[in-house]
Every structure is written in C-alpha cells, then in structure tokens.
Structure 1
Amino acid sequence: MIRVLLADDQALVRGALAALLGLEPDIEVVAEVSTGDEVLPAARRAHPDVALLDVQMPGLDGLSAAAALTAALPACKVVICTTFGRPGYLARAMAAGCAGFVVKDAPPERLVDAVRRVHGGLRVVDPALAAESLASGPDPLTDRERDTLRAAAEGGSVADLARALHLSEGTVRNHLSSAIGKTGARNRAEAAKLAEARGWL
C-alpha cells in the first residue's frame, strides 16, 4: 500500500482528494491536515510514503512545509497539488526537493498516476507548466527583494516597510527599485502583483 498524507486548507477539496485516492486498491490516505504547520508533525505520526500539499495554506505555506518535510523525512516523496500553476511555484517546489507538481484541474487519473510514479522514484511535473516555466526563465529576485515586495504588497510607507523589515529606508528603496526593474513594473504595487502572478513570492 502507498501511504498518503493530504494537506489542503479547503475541507471539500481535501475530502474529495481523500475519496478519490481511497478508491484505489493500492493507496491509503493515512493523514489529512488543513495547515502547513501540521504537515511535519502529522507525517512523523503517520509515516506516509507520499505527501500531497497545496501551496496556499494558513501558517506555513505548502512550499515551506515541503522543504521542512523533505529535510526531516527524505523517504517521504512530496507532490505539490495546487490550483495555482505558476512557473515560480514549480521552480521553488523543485528547489525544496519535491518529486512532483500537478494542478488541481488535471484529470483525476493524472493525480493517481503521479502518486504511483513518485512513489516509484520518478518525478512528475505538469507538462504545460514545465513548458511555461522554461519559457519564463528563472526567478530574478533576491530573498531580500522578495521580502520587501511581500511587505510592500500589504501597503505602508517606506518608513513602515523599513521598521517591519528591520532595514534602513535607503536599503528598502534600493530593494524596491531593483525589484521594480527586474519585474518590468511601473511601481512597487505592480511589481508585487507581477511577482505574485509568476509565483516568485
């Protein structure tokens, strides 16, 4: 049996995935959680072979939870299963050690196949997203530029951002200017939106 952990903050989606996988004779859902913070503790208790994680969840996001899970329990293969098929998310998932990336609007048999294939030691990536990721290129932002854009997306003055990030106002302006240039945006709000849409934040 392939033991599976499901992490999705939407109860209906989580329940549907559990029901779908439960129909398979060789797959057993051994844990279900609704936040990224619950992933690692649940995996330590249930010992899954494969973890299916959503990206956007309360607390720790799915990509951060994936990195923690692959570091702590490398035998558990992680598949990101998300509505948000963004090239930046794919790159970050692969960097976090994920074995697969599928989008929720894929046919159900593709998800079941992905679970079996990653359990067998293969990598599985949505082909359209892989092509889009190659075409869009790598994430050009630094960690500090990403942090600054995330903070800028919530609003506030440069002084507010500097206080929140424990940086000088000049450093914040430099990070924002660089991020605006790299995204081709006209201002910081547009830069944050573009970066989010590409999965860089």
Structure 2
Amino acid sequence: MIRLLLAEDQVLLRDAIQSLLQLSNHIDIVASTGNGSEALHLATTEHVDVALLDIEMPGLTGIQVAEQLKKGEEYDGKVALLTTFSRPGYIEKAMIAKVDGYLLKDEPIETLIESIVRIHEGERVISTDLQPLLFSLETNPLNEREVMLLHAVKEGLSTEQIAKAKHLSEGTVRNYLSSALQKLHVTHRHEAVRIAKEKGWM
C-alpha cells in the first residue's frame, strides 16, 4: 500500500481527489493539507511514500516543498506535482528540483492512480499533454533580485515604496526593473509582471 500525502489548497478539490484516490486498492492517504509549510512537515513525520503537491499553495509553493524534500535527508519518498498549469517556467523549476512526477489535475482518475503507482515504483512520470513543452522550455532570464522587485510591482508599490521596503536606493530599483523590462522585451512594468507570471518565472 502506497502511503500518500495530498497537498491541495482548494478544499472541495482536495476532498474530491481524496475520495477518488481512496477507491484504489494501492493508495492509502495518510495525510492531507492545503498549506505548503504543513505539507513539508507532514511529509517528514508521517512516513510518506509519495507526496502529491499542488503547485500554488499558501505557506510554501509545491515547488518550494519539492525542492526542500529532495534536498533534505529526512525524506526518502517520491515527490510529484499536481497542477492545472502547463507554464514552461513551472516545468523548468520542477525539472531542476528533480521531481518524480508532474501531473495534471484534469486527467482521468485512473490515469492519476496509475501515475502514482508508477512513480512509487521508481519511474519518472510526466503527463502526456505536458511532454511537448519539455522540448521548448525557455530558461528564465530574470535574476532573483529582478523577480523580487517584480513581485513588489505586482503588489502595487511605487519605486519609492519598493526602495524603502527593500532597503535599496530608488536608482537601484529603477535599474533592476529596467533590466527586467529589457529581458522580457516590454516597455511597462505591469506587462513584465504579466509575462513573468504566465511563464511561471515568478
């Protein structure tokens, strides 16, 4: 029996997936949560074989949880991401994190169960619909500081507010944001935020 952790922040969807997975004779859901930080804790305390993680969660994202589980010594199970998103940036981060599976939520439950079993047996499973994206991945051109400042722009902060919040000079903020705009081939900050989010780079 595969001991599974299910982490999904939408309660109705989590309950639905849990109910369907429990129909399998191969899977025992030993823990579930809607919070990434709690998922990280449960994965290392509940003797989990496979951690099935939604990408976008409060606390920590599924990718952040996956990165920590894969790097840590307290967890020796498998890690799979479950998502509705096919953004190249997410797939790139997932591959860098060396996750064992990247699965789509809208697949038939039989396919999801089969994928979990295959992942538990040591295979690396990527949903069929996502595989073409592996051959057209775009590397994120933004550095960490540029991503951080675009998050601040997304929050509606002005250059002056960003500078105060991040303990930078206004000139430094403008330079980093200008660099981000150039890399994304746009002229407006909010357009840069939109593209970076669509690509899964922030």
- Provide TM-score, normalisation by structure 1: 0.93
Please say if residues 151 and 161 of structure 1, whose CA atoms lie closer than 8 Å, have aligned partners that are also in contact: yes
CA distance in 1, matches of 2:187, 2:75: 42
Q: Where does 1:89-108 land on structure 2 (aligned, <5 Å)?
A: 89-108=90-109
Q: Aligned letter for 1:16? A: A
Q: Secondary structure at the match of 2:117?
A: helix
**Residue aligning to 2:181:** 180
Please say if residues 44 and 75 of structure 2, whose CA atoms lie closer than 8 Å, have aligned partners that are also in contact: no
**Residue aligning to 1:111:** 112
CA distance in 1, matches of 2:86, 2:64: 17
**Residue aligning to 1:28:** 28
CA distance in 2, matches of 1:106, 1:168: 48
Q: Aligned letter for 2:92? A: A
- Provide TM-score, normalisation by structure 2: 0.93
* 2:11 maps to 1:15: no
Q: Aligned letter for 2:100? A: A
Farther off after superposition, 96-105 or 23-32: 96-105
- Alignment RMSD (CA, Å): 1.5
5+ residue gaps, structure 1: none
* 2:184 maps to 1:198: no
Alignment deviations for residues 78-106 of structure 1 (CA, whole Å, 9 cap, x no partner): 11101222111111122223111111112
Alignment deviations for residues 21-70 of structure 1 (CA, whole Å, 9 cap, x no partner): 11111111110011001012112221111011111111111111111222
Q: Secondary structure at the match of 1:98?
A: coil
Please say if residues 87 and 130 of structure 1, whose CA atoms lie closer than 8 Å, have aligned partners that are also in contact: no
5+ residue gaps, structure 2: none
CA distance in 2, matches of 1:113, 1:101: 13
Alignment deviations for residues 124-175 of structure 1 (CA, whole Å, 9 cap, x no partner): 1123323234324211111111111111111121111122222222221121
Please say if residues 21 and 109 of structure 2, whose CA atoms lie closer than 8 Å, have aligned partners that are also in contact: no
Please say if residues 162 and 172 of structure 1, whose CA atoms lie closer than 8 Å, have aligned partners that are also in contact: yes
Q: Aligned letter for 1:138? A: T
Q: Percent identity, please.
A: 45
**Residue aligning to 2:168:** 167
CA distance in 2, matches of 1:110, 1:161: 46
Q: CA deviation at 1:186?
A: 2.3
